[in-house]
């Protein structure tokens, strides 16, 4: 299970993201970026945060600590924003905390070099979990302490928002339904912010990451990751998540094929088409000093 802490002070809202996370202090003397259960995306986005974040950690990728943080809605009573007061009232009890990394900045490919092997593992994980929110527009990567840190996985596993909630009581047939395997590729994969870091042979880097990581994503690991999700957040049988991810990690993994076949020139052309221009967005083309100034704010979406 995730460690539990109690919030003692609501410090400030972080308005960069649509879920309106907030910075809160807790009784463990830590400061946490809090994702609220009562936000518009609902509890399933918190499930995705835990499942993908802890799966990444288990696979050796750097993710700030996640905790369950208990929030008393009265902590926001002096907050002048009515929207925040409403959000805290709707989120009484268990919410998700992400360790706040003071002084961290949003990943800037012009100023922070990422090893190709690490980049390939991140791209592979995002393709596995259908994390559509690691683009050049919103990298959801932080540079801190000389390392790259993965944050904000609430948009991953997006098909689960269409899964029916589990019914109370046992299944009359005594067995779980057989769900079809989901082998769809990562939408808009060409927009992934780390693709240029894969080097001159992206396919080779991704094949190496696939060979390393896919055998590790088995029922045992996935079951341990799902066990970290609070029961009160789960309205879908946790085995559904285990089966969904295991089916994607096993076999031939056709969802990876478009990325394996991509060449640097094709990636650049696809990114240009997706951006509607003649190349990467403006902030990727700026001189290093201008980009560093523009990106001196961490993403907390």
pLDDT given for residue 293 in this prediction: 32
Q: What confidence tens digit (pLDDT) does each residue in 130-182 have?
A: 999 999 889 999 999 999 999 999 999 999 999 999 865 455 454 455 677 89
Lookup: tokens for 7: 């919030």
Task: Write down the pTM of the prediction.
Answer: 0.87
State the pLDDT at residue 166: 80
C-alpha distances in Å from residue 119, one per residue of 172, 206, 211, 279, 283 = 46, 9, 15, 21, 20
First to last CA, the chain: 24
The DSSP output letter for 25 is E
109 by DSSP, 3-state: which?
Answer: coil
Token pair recorded at residue 273: 């088409």
d(CA 178, CA 142) in angstroms, rounded, equals 39
SS3 content of the chain, % helix, strand, coil (to 5): 40, 15, 45
CB 42 within 8 A of CB 165: no
pLDDT of residue 282: 45
CA distance 90 to 100: 23
d(CA 109, CA 130): 22
- Sheet containing 141-144: give its strands across: 105-106, 141-144, 147-150
pLDDT computed for residue 41 by the predictor? 85
Report the alpha-carbon angle 162-167-171, nearest 5: 115
Q: What is the pLDDT of residues 7-32, one digit of tens each?
A: 999 999 887 666 789 999 999 999 99
Residues of the chain predicted below pLDDT 50: 169, 172, 174-175, 277-301
What is the reported pLDDT for 178? Answer: 63
C-alpha torsion sign, points 212, 215, 221, 223: positive
Name residue 142's beta-bridge partners. Answer: 106, 149
Sort 198 into a burial class: Cβ within 10 Å, 0-12 / 13-18 / 19+.
buried
CA-CA-CA-CA torsion sign (156, 7, 99, 138): positive
CB 222 within 8 A of CB 284: no
Which domains can be identified in the chain, with CATH numbers?
Answer: 3-99 (no CATH), 105-163+181-294 (1.10.1070)
Do the Cβ atoms of 68 and 81 come closer than 8 Å? no
β-sheet bridge partners, residue 31: 25
């Amino acid at each position: 299970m995730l460690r539990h802490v109690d919030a003692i002070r609501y410090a400030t809202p972080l308005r960069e993201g649509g879920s309106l996370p907030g910075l809160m202090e807790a009784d463990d003397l830590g400061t946490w970026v809090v994702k609220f259960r009562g936000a518009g995306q609902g509890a399933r986005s918190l499930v995705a945060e835990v499942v993908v974040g802890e799966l990444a950690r288990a696979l050796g990728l750097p993710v700030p600590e996640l905790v369950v943080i208990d929030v008393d809605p009265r902590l926001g009573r002096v907050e002048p924003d009515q929207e925040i007061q409403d959000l805290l009232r709707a989120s009484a009890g268990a919410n998700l905390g992400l360790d706040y990394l003071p002084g961290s900045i949003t990943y800037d490919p012009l100023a922070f070099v990422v090893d190709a092997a690490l980049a390939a593992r991140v791209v592979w994980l995002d393709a596995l979990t259908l994390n559509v929110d690691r683009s050049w527009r919103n990298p959801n990567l932080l540079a801190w302490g000389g390392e790259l840190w993965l944050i904000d996985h609430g948009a991953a596993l997006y098909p689960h928002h269409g899964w029916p909630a589990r019914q109370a009581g046992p299944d009359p047939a005594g067995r779980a339904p057989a769900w079809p395997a989901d082998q769809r590729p990562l939408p808009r994969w060409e927009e992934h912010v780390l693709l240029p870091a894969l080097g001159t042979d992206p396919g080779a880097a991704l094949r190496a990451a696939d060979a390393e990581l896919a055998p590790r994503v088995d029922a045992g690991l996935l079951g341990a990751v799902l066990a970290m999700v609070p029961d009160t957040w789960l309205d879908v049988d946790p085995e559904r998540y285990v089966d969904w991810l295991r089916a994607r990690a096993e076999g031939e993994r056709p969802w990876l094929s478009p990325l394996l076949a991509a060449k640097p020139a094709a990636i650049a052309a696809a990114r240009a088409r997706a951006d509607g221009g003649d190349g990467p967005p403006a902030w990727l083309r700026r001189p290093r000093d201008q980009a560093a100034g523009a990106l001196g704010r961490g993403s907390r979406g």
